């Protein structure tokens, strides 16, 4: 158990003393970039899903009529 406590303590010390944190303005800008790309990717995924669903539905309707 002492190893776990020591590991966590060293990890926090590493974060406090050896990590360079970005400026707040950069964090906000990058957060907006990630949010925009997430929305775009979600819309693209939805579009491909709808296209595949309609294609398969049309194919199976065509199979029923043949």
Mean pLDDT score, 3-21: 92
Is the pTM of the predicted complex or chain greater than 0.85? no
Mean pLDDT score, 22-26: 96
Tokens of 38: 């997430």
* pLDDT at residue 19 in the model: 87
Tokens of 64: 């029923």
Mean pLDDT score, 14-40: 95
Q: Is the torsion defined by CA of 9, 18, 34, 53 positive or negative? A: negative
Angstrom distances, CA of residue 57 to CA of 14, 36, 60: 56, 32, 5
Tokens of 39: 């929305």
Of 33, 37, 17, nearest to 25 by C-alpha is 33
Mean pLDDT score, 1-27: 93
């Amino acid at each position: 158990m002492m190893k776990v406590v020591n590991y966590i303590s060293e990890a926090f010390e590493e974060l406090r003393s050896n990590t360079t944190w970005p400026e707040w303005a950069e964090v906000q800008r990058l957060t907006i970039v990630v949010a925009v790309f997430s929305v775009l990717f979600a819309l693209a995924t939805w579009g491909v899903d709808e296209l595949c669903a309609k294609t398969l539905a049309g194919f199976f309707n065509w199979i029923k009529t043949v």
